[in-house]
Amino acid sequence: MIKKKLVIKNKLGLHARAAVKFVNLANRFASSIKIVKDGSEVDGKSVLGILTLAAVQGSEIQLNVSGKDEDMAFLAISDLIDDKFHEKE
Amino acid sequence: MEYFRLRGTGVSPGIAVGEVLLSEGIAFTSRKSGINKEHVERELKRLDVSIHRTGEQLKKLKEEIGKKVGSDHSFIFEAHLFILQDDYLISRIKEIIKEEKTRAERAISKVFEEYSKMFKSIENEYFKQREYDLKDVLSKIYLNLETDKKLKKDDGKEKILVAHDLLPSEAASRLSKGNVLAVALDVGGTTSHTAILARSLNIPAIMGLSQITRKVKDGDTLIVDGTNGEVIINPPLAIRREFDSKQKKYDSYVRELKKTATLESKTLDSVRFFPFANIELPEEVNLAFSMGAEGVGLFRTEFIFFQRKVLPSEEDHYQVYSQVVKDAGKKPVYIRTVDIGGEKNFPQLSIEKEPNPALGLRGFRLSLRERKHFKIQLRAILRASALNKNVRIMLPMITDLEEIEEAKLIIGEIKEELKAQKFSYDENIPLGIMIEVPAAAAVSDSLVKEVDYISIGTNDLIQYYLAVDRSNELVSYLFKPLHPSVLRLLKFIIDSAKKEKKEVTVCGEMAADPLSALALLGLGLKRFSMNPIFIPKIKKTLRSVEYKSAQMIVEKALSLKTAREVEEHFLESVLSKHPKALLTTEAS
């Protein structure tokens, strides 16, 4: 299992569009992907779950990834977050 | 049925009485309808069928809206599809059906309550609002559990639409069907897309009713008084009668105004004038013409920016302009380049907060700084000008001559570009400016030589000139369009245009006020641009006076000392000469 903390950098945070991109990507992996923020954990493959986190710009989240392809999955998702979900700002 | 009243903001005038049609979002039930063990499978099956059906609908909607208004608007349906595919959500519904042995309807409602609690505890407004996306999806699933439920809802009968909020695309499709008597919403305000649409379609509407969706149900009787911003739920007979007669009065008033719309725009002594419309949505064009508009005197373009999360592309602009231009036929369309800044901020351009936005980076000033976006807009306007050769460019917030020269250079460059790229455009497209800065008014005699026409934006001009913020209650009493100083300034501007044989229009609220419109006529103005709903009223006023007498009345007014004197003089002399001119009683 990989556990790592990341900061949401894009201006709009984990808003609907970003959440959709997140889930889209998470679904490509067999691993279980959980996001923890302020003590609550949600499934990284659930758009609704992600939205209820209300992760705005600057929020710190923890990714818990576990499964056969956890390395690939973690890398891909942290890239997406670092790349600000391909948003301009 | 319980009788009570709710207050909100009336955003579109008129009165309607009718039955409630609650918009889908609020169909949830708290009734626990237990089922036998053997029926659990049946409920699960119903749920699956409904989810499938909902998915198909969402895909179709996504495609349709994508085609009609662009992918920015269809994204919402993509997000909804993801919610629909959310395993957590769906398995939770199934869990409740199995554990509680209850119908799918109740399970959906319960899941909504669970999530709703979570969303409500969120502070951030954006994320809090996502509750309505979930609600939207769940209510679609709910409705799809019964195949014929949809039919019952969409029986085409005239009803009063009650909803939490309407998405722009939803508002357009529902209001344009012709069976919505009135609109009552929990949220929203005067400037929302739905409000604008309701006004333009003459549908009474009230917004900001906070919880009306929770307080009424299908079949309740409502009175919607859009003029006063009041909703009356299940009114007793006496109150119903009172409003029935109010409604009749209002309807006949509107009918009479519409009749006026078809009459010739000429004063008693046969001087021709032109009523134009101020609009901001392509959907408003036809309504404006049905009210008697002889052109679009001001097409605002800000909504093209506000509707999107990202900056609009040339195609986004072009689609809007080409529709307006085509609908207008041969009638002129004055497209004003974007007037953002001031109080109308736009997050995508990350304009810094200014200490005094009214005197800051706004209108043409901002366009010059955001030259790239300005050029995108101008390219689209120029391309649209090829269609009917009826387009005019209008620049807002011009202060001096050099700005006009700069604009001409940019337009020249764009024409070259378009020519090289084999796009066609109207080579002689007229260029005009708004006169709304007092300095521009003072040198309007020299500015007008450089352009094809001028348009006086009286709202801002008077605010700047009198140094009065109309929205500031402490000083708003000083906002006096008929102040002698204002009349003298307007006279100078209109005379300047006349001297150069250039067209001059007024596109502020002054044009929509009967007394002020008479003053403008007396000053020699022939082009009046206003919210289309006021056109019949103004036309009626101007048709019942002589141009000559208006001129004489104004001449005297110019020598008076206070706004009150001017007003009294006007009322007195207009009424003695043309008693019918101000008989445009508004029904309340």
CATH number, domain of B44, equals 1.10.274.10
B337: pLDDT confidence band, cut at 50, 70 and 90?
very high
- What is the per-residue pLDDT for B151? 42
Chain A residues touching chain B at CB-CB below 8 Å: 12-13, 15-17, 19-20, 23, 43, 45-49, 51-54, 56
Average predicted confidence (pLDDT) for chain B: 88
B130: pLDDT confidence band, cut at 50, 70 and 90?
confident
CA B302, CA B222: separation in Å to the nearest integer? Answer: 35
Mean pLDDT of B313-324: 94
Q: Which domain holds residue A79?
A: 2-86
Q: Over 60: is that where the pLDDT of B183 sits?
A: yes
Tokens matching residue B70: 């662009």
Q: Over 70: is that where the pLDDT of B342 sits?
A: no
Q: Is residue B586 part of a domain?
A: no
pTM of the predicted model over 0.95: no
Asked if the Cβ–Cβ distance from B75 to A17 is below 8 Å, we say yes
B381, B404, B429: which is the final residue of a domain? Answer: B429
Asked if the Cβ–Cβ distance from A46 to B87 is below 8 Å, we say yes
Amino acid at B373: H
Domains in chain B, number: 2
Rounded to a whole number, what is the distance in Å from the CA of A79 to chain B's nearest CA?
22
Mean pLDDT of B178-184: 91
CA B201, CA B306: separation in Å to the nearest integer? Answer: 21
Across the A:B interface, residue pairs with CB atoms under 8 Å apart total 52
Write out chain B residues lying below 8 Å of A54, CB-based. Answer: 122-124, 127-128
Q: Which domain holds residue B96?
A: 29-154
- Mutation target vs B (from A24, A52, A53, A89; most B CBs, 10 A cutoff): A52
B132: pLDDT confidence band, cut at 50, 70 and 90?
confident
Q: Over 50: is that where the pLDDT of B34 sits?
A: yes
Q: Is residue B235 part of a domain?
A: no
B588: pLDDT confidence band, cut at 50, 70 and 90?
very low
Write out chain B residues lying below 8 Å of A17, CB-based. Answer: 75, 79
Rounded to a whole number, what is the distance in Å from the CA of B493 to chain A's nearest CA?
45
B469: pLDDT confidence band, cut at 50, 70 and 90?
confident
- What is the per-residue pLDDT for B150? 47
Mean pLDDT of B121-129: 81
Asked if the Cβ–Cβ distance from A52 to B115 is below 8 Å, we say yes
Asked if the Cβ–Cβ distance from B86 to A16 is below 8 Å, we say no
CA B221, CA B16: separation in Å to the nearest integer? Answer: 11
Phi-psi region of B167 (alpha: psi -120 to 50; beta: other; left: phi over 0): beta
B223: pLDDT confidence band, cut at 50, 70 and 90?
very high
**Residue B130: which of A16, A43, A45 has the nearest Cβ?**
A16
> Which H/E stretch holds residue A36?
strand A32-37
Active-site annotation holder among A15, A18, A70, A81 = A15
Spell B183-210 as b/e; 16+ CB within 10 A means b.
bbbbbbeeebbbbbbbbbbbbbbbbbbe
Decide: B312 and B565 in contact? Cβ < 8 Å: no
Fill in the DSSP letter of residue B562: S
CA B114, CA B120: separation in Å to the nearest integer? Answer: 10
Q: Over 70: is that where the pLDDT of B346 sits?
A: no
Report the residue of chain B nearest A49, measured CA to CA. B88
Q: Is residue B569 part of a domain?
A: no
Domains in chain A, number: 1
Partners of A40 in the beta sheet? A37
Q: Is residue B143 part of a domain?
A: yes
Percentage of residues of chain B with pLDDT beyond 90: 55
B193: pLDDT confidence band, cut at 50, 70 and 90?
low
Q: Is residue B588 part of a domain?
A: no
CATH number, domain of A58, equals 3.30.1340.10
**Residue B82: which of A43, A47, A52 has the nearest Cβ?**
A47
CA distances from B238 to B235, B243, B244, B252, B445 (A): 8, 9, 10, 22, 61
Residue in the block written with tokens 């200014």: B354
CA B272, CA B547: separation in Å to the nearest integer? Answer: 9
- What is the per-residue pLDDT for B65? 65
Mean pLDDT of B344-372: 81
Mean pLDDT of B54-64: 84
pLDDT, one tens digit per residue, over B489-527 is 999 999 999 999 999 999 988 999 899 999 999 999 999
Rounded to a whole number, what is the distance in Å from the CA of A47 to chain B's nearest CA?
6
CA B541, CA B547: separation in Å to the nearest integer? Answer: 12
Write out chain A residues lying below 8 Å of B134, CB-based. Answer: 48
First vs last C-alpha separation in chain B: 28
CATH number, domain of B352, equals 3.20.20.60
Mean pLDDT of B224-252: 92
Q: Is residue B56 part of a domain?
A: yes
Rounded to a whole number, what is the distance in Å from the CA of A68 to chain B's nearest CA?
21
B70: pLDDT confidence band, cut at 50, 70 and 90?
low
B352 φ/ψ angles, rounded to the nearest 5 degrees: -70, 150
Q: Over 90: is that where the pLDDT of A77 sits?
A: yes
CA B465, CA B454: separation in Å to the nearest integer? Answer: 18
Residue, of B74 and B80, whose pLDDT is higher? B80
Q: Give the three-class secondary structure for B162.
A: strand
Q: Is residue B387 part of a domain?
A: yes
Give catalytic residue positions of B: 193, 507
B97, B132, B154: which is the final residue of a domain? Answer: B154
Tokens matching residue B380: 């689209």
Q: Over 80: is that where the pLDDT of B207 sits?
A: yes
Q: Is residue B340 part of a domain?
A: yes
Length in residues, chain B? 588
- Mutation target vs B (from A33, A48, A50, A85; most B CBs, 10 A cutoff): A48
Least confident of B67-81, B327-341, B484-498: B67-81
> Which H/E stretch holds residue B373?
helix B371-388
- What is the per-residue pLDDT for B152? 43
Q: Strands, DSSP E only, in B140-220? A: 159-163, 180-185, 205-207
- What is the per-residue pLDDT for B220? 93
Residue, of B355 and B438, whose pLDDT is higher? B438
